[in-house]
Chain A
Amino acid sequence: MKQENIRDHTERYLKIFSDLENIRKNGVFTHFRELKQNAIKNFTGTGFPTIKNEEWKYTDLSTLHEINFQPLLKFRDIKKDEGGIQDHFLGVPDSLRVAFIDGHYQPGLSDTGNHGSELLITPFSALKPEQYAELGSCLGSQISLTDDPFVVLNTALFTDGIWIRIPKGKIIDQPIEILYFATNQPQPGLIQPRNLIMVGENSQVGIIENYVGQNDAVYFNNPVTEIILETNALVEHFKVQSDSTRAVHIGTIRVLQHKNSNYISHSFSFGGLLVRTNINTVLADEGVECTLNGLYVGDGKQHIDNHTSIDHTRPHCNSHELYKGILDDNAHGVFNGKIFVRPAAQKTNAIQSNNCILLTDDATINTKPQLEIFADDVKCTHGATVGQLDEDAYFYMRSRGLDQQKARNLLIYAFASDVIDRISHEPVRGKISGLFGHKLKRVQLD
């Protein structure tokens, strides 16, 4: 791609920024003016990455650049029972939930509870004026968000988002869900969700980020989620990406873990045409547990890129990472798993594996474990496998009367099952298992 073209793409987003700034005199743009102006300045300097950048070597962004995505400004509120949007929630009914449609908060579809001032689940657009300053002092304050052009772009362009703050010593039984639903619009939409999740000392919570798109909808989803776990906090975090197969999704999750905290991530990539998910965790103190589970399933011409980074900075921390991929047709997968073990991080225990099966000769995967270890008393293992479906098992199943598609799908399901089985919350596991079954060309896995 020529340099001037890259410049053009950057210019388009600068124009979007100035348009938004003009329109949104009193909204989020006013309250976060300085943050946003710094971000757009930063983005102007860097522009979009290209495949010459090592971090983007296998992910070409042409699909993103070919389309003129624009924020969808005109919008109406959707009623609770309209269009079956409710059915897309993964959590149990009556659990705390927030819905956005094409980036716009939907009070009618949301239930943020009534918990007093301590437990907070609030969309940015519904904050009280005095809360803006407080949010402003939290956004990006503990976690650095200035080193990735897509994160920076989100900071510049987000118009809404969700702020969840769990006070000390609170155990939330049911996961809190954030549904980002995208509709099929004539104008390809630009959606920049922003999530800030702060979990207090000794608290436990589940968070579901659920991205869903209508069939054939064309949009660019660029979410950024910050999660901060205070001492002893436990977070089970789900990211379920079921965007339209014509959508671009570049998502980033950045996690900061304080002492003895436990972060468990389950990342599922089912939808999207061009998809990148970055999950970066910093283990900032001793006794931290970090688990990253991932499952990516691609077919057609889907491109699914997972970049993870686990940064061990202090002693006595454990990280466990298991990613599995299933690629059919011409799908292309990328896995890059970085593990840093800093000089102070003695007694680190880090395990990583990425296993991928390719169902056709045209499906491809680029997989790269990347361990950078600067301490000497550590236990780190990594492994990557790429293979096909087990032919012996396939024949075994057929020889017991199972038809070819059923046998094939059961084997794929079996391959993926250990990732899905790691979800401790039974109803959510059931729903995600259902989405996975649906993705496997609608075969029933009763």
Chain B
Amino acid sequence: MLEIINLHASVEGTEILKGINLEIKAGEIHAIMGPNGSGKSTLAGVLAGRPEYEVTAGEVLYQGKNLLEMDPENRAREGIFLAFQYPVEIPGISNSYFLKTSLNAIRKHNGLEEIDAFDFLALVKEKMKIVDLDEKLLSRPVNEGFSGGEKKRNEIFQMAVLEPKLAILDETDSGLDIDALKIVANGVNKLKNKDNSILVITHYQRLLNYIIPDYVHVLYKGRIVQSGGKELALELEEKGYDFVKENDLAGVRG
């Protein structure tokens, strides 16, 4: 599905990612954990095509294609979905209009007919149940006046409608209380199948109690310094990130 090879990326001349290697196969859930400033969100941004990030070396293959050459909109149309850490408010555009436009852009790209208003409504009503989103939020402007939890649920609702092949969840757990966290996690689990992949980016282990990863990677200072199974997340939770930092220092000395 996704292959990241020696990826280096900078923001305003400062190198943030310093050689990331990662392979995600279809049907897998990977988690990337790391302390603040380790480059987690930069990695998510680079994969989604944020223009402020400059890739200085390395490559990213998505379904065998050079991802870095694709515009953000084409990445989305090819099946990549980024659930934003801070979903953006767009006053004046209704949530349902935005999502319908998005869905139709993706369908058109994939040779499917545009969905009509009637079928779209039926579809969104079905999908809203997955994250228990209030129907009223459909007619409201995108994310405007939504609570923090509603914004995050709206992201997963969009994911449910757009059915991406690769979903990147960028700190989707941040700002959620435990009930909302469960709803979001259950929603993600319902959307998971053997063909799609999920990359969960998180600072805390608690989301991974509900979305069980196949692999956990620890990102530190722009590199993946450790990889393992789901038990690595528990180890991190117990020992804190200092343990990674010590390992890293030891590595440098050694």
Contacts and interface: CB of A to CB of B under 8 A. Distances in A.
A399 B49 contact: yes
A429 to B, nearest CB: 14
Contacts of B51: 395
Interface in A385-404: 390, 392-393, 395-404
Interface in B98-120: 98-99, 101-102, 105-106, 109
A166 B42 CA distance: 65
**Interface size, A (range):** 20 to 34
A393 B90 contact: yes
B33 interface: no
A411 interface: yes
A400 B88 contact: no
B89 to A, nearest CB: 8
Interface stretch (B2-10, B69-77, B246-254): B69-77
B88 A401 contact: no
B87 A401 contact: no
Nearest to B80: A399
A171 interface: no
A417 B99 CA distance: 18
B48 interface: yes
Contact of B71 (A398, A413, A415): A398
A401 B92 contact: no
A53 to B, nearest CB: 37
B84 A396 contact: yes
A412 to B, nearest CB: 10
Question: Chain A interface secondary structure, helix, strand, loop or mixed?
Answer: helix
Given A395-B50, A395-B51, A395-B72, A400 B92 contact: no
B90 A402 contact: no
B88 A398 contact: no
Contact of A414 (B72, B76, B90, B162): B90
Given A399-B48, A399-B49, A402-B105, A413 B93 contact: yes
Q: Which of A399, A410, A415, A416 has the most CB of B within 10 A?
A: A399
A401 B106 contact: yes
Interface string A173-193: 000000000000000000000
A317 B239 CA distance: 67
A336 B72 CA distance: 40
B91 interface: yes
A34 interface: no
A393 B87 CA distance: 9
Nearest to A412: B92
Contacts of A399: 48-49, 72-73, 75-76, 82, 84
Contacts of A19: none
B158 interface: yes
A396 B76 CA distance: 11
B131 to A, nearest CB: 17
B73 A398 contact: yes
B91 A401 contact: no
Contacts of A414: 90-93, 141
B69 to A, nearest CB: 15
Contacts of A415: 92
B228 to A, nearest CB: 30
A30 B1 CA distance: 84
B154 to A, nearest CB: 12
A165 interface: no
A404 B88 contact: no
Contacts of A406: 101, 105
A401 B107 CA distance: 10
A402 B102 contact: yes
A166 to B, nearest CB: 34
A393 B75 CA distance: 17
Q: Which of B49, B76, B106 has the most CB of A within 10 A?
A: B76
A418 interface: yes
Q: Which of B48, B82, B105, B141 has the most CB of A within 10 A?
A: B105
Interface string B145-165: 000000000000010001000
B189 to A, nearest CB: 22
Contacts of B84: 396, 399
B73 to A, nearest CB: 5
Contact of B73 (A402, A413, A418): A402
Contacts of B105: 400-403, 406
Contacts of A402: 73, 101-102, 105
Nearest to A418: B92
Contacts of A398: 49, 71-73, 76
Interface of A: 390, 392-393, 395-404, 406-407, 410-411, 413-418
7 contacts: A395-B72, A402-B101, A404-B71, A410-B101, A414-B90, A414-B93, A417-B91
